[in-house]
Structure 1
């Protein structure tokens, strides 16, 4: 219907084929009530000690020939002294359904691996930002072409990119790539990630943050800007 082409749609993952779709962050586990809740959380993440160089929370996709998750899991298991794996198995006791397990893993990790799953994007990417863990992406559509209102255009400021083809053909060793990043760069990326936290969370809808703007605020501002551009 022609009318629907003029309707802006906010989705957790947008389509590259529809210009009227805009991606907004997946909801995380944290819904603060006050500015102070957010500021205290950010300070806690700044002080957080990191025990693992990198980690992965997820399950393999053996039914998908294009999936690199199996290879990522193999690399993590081979780097057991540097990588922590949280396997998400399909069972009633799936540890990945437990917020404390996922958040503890990410809080303890410098880098969090975010390969595509059922689709290009993952809620886990926003959980890792919330935990002050630098996300590692393997496909541009996992973040860089999606969350234009929320994430820095210069993606190297807050994340690491490893092309999935290099994982698939075995030419990329994740541990070696991450270990070679200078400590000064890692510290700068981690600061940027923690700075992003207010922007990618949804505050308690019954209350309102006073000075900070959350993901909902940025969505409203973005829509108003789109309307104004159309009018102009």
Structure 2
């Protein structure tokens, strides 16, 4: 946590899955998370994180790094210091809704992660009941493989169309990124470790 507290930006690449605990640890320390895949936060935690992800985080597509279309340091250095300060303040303001507060404490002016989740469930149940009464489904032409899109729809939208993040979720597993590498960053790290072990024998 000390490292996070002394850093402006904290890199959050994929691990064995899209998400990782480190992303929340960094935000709790007031550090701006840098994501490389939208599944690491933006499509997973829509109840707890703002839809406008540019207000509290930096997004650099992982293929840009793999294909060497600029460096991480170069991208981050282009953000003005004033903007960095605003983003850090936004991250700090998010902290109450990212933690589960001690029930004995009196957070009368703040909603913690539990409050946010309960309210989101209540809102969803209310919508479902309304739809049942009106005799319709919540979404038109629901497609399971596009399930990540539905939480991103604007109020009143009932169908998920094309989204700028489609390439991140439609890429077949094992497809080449264009530089000879395949799969996720976790898979690449695993292969690298295997190669090192083989070289040592």
TM-score normalised over the length of structure 1: 0.54
Match of 2:91 in 1: 193
Q: 1:138 aligns with which of 36, 40, 60?
A: 36
Unaligned runs of 5+ in 2: 131-201
Deviation for aligned residue 1:206: 5.0
User: Which has the higher Rg, Structure 1 or Structure 2?
Assistant: 2
Unaligned runs of 5+ in 1: 1-102
Where 1:199 maps in the other structure, the secondary structure is helix
Match of 1:149 in 2: 47
Q: 1:121 aligns with which of 8, 14, 19?
A: 19
The separation in 2 between residues aligned to 1:139 and 1:175, in whole angstroms, is 17
Q: 2:102 aligns with which of 181, 204, 214?
A: 204
Match of 1:181 in 2: 79
Q: How many residues align?
A: 130
The separation in 2 between residues aligned to 1:140 and 1:187, in whole angstroms, is 23
1:5-84 alignment to 2 at 5 Å? none
The separation in 1 between residues aligned to 2:104 and 2:70, in whole angstroms, is 47
Deviations 1:129-165 (A, max 9, x none): 1100000000011111111111111111000010000
The separation in 2 between residues aligned to 1:169 and 1:200, in whole angstroms, is 34
Where 1:148 maps in the other structure, the secondary structure is coil
Match of 1:27 in 2: none
Q: Are residue 215 (structure 1) and residue 94 (structure 2) matched?
A: no
Comparing both structures, which one devotes a greater share of its residues to strand? Answer: 1
Runs ≥4 in structure 1, deviation > 3 angstroms?
Answer: 205-208
Q: Are residue 165 (structure 1) and residue 63 (structure 2) matched?
A: yes
Calculate the aligned-residue CA RMSD, in Å: 1.2
Deviation for aligned residue 1:192: 0.6
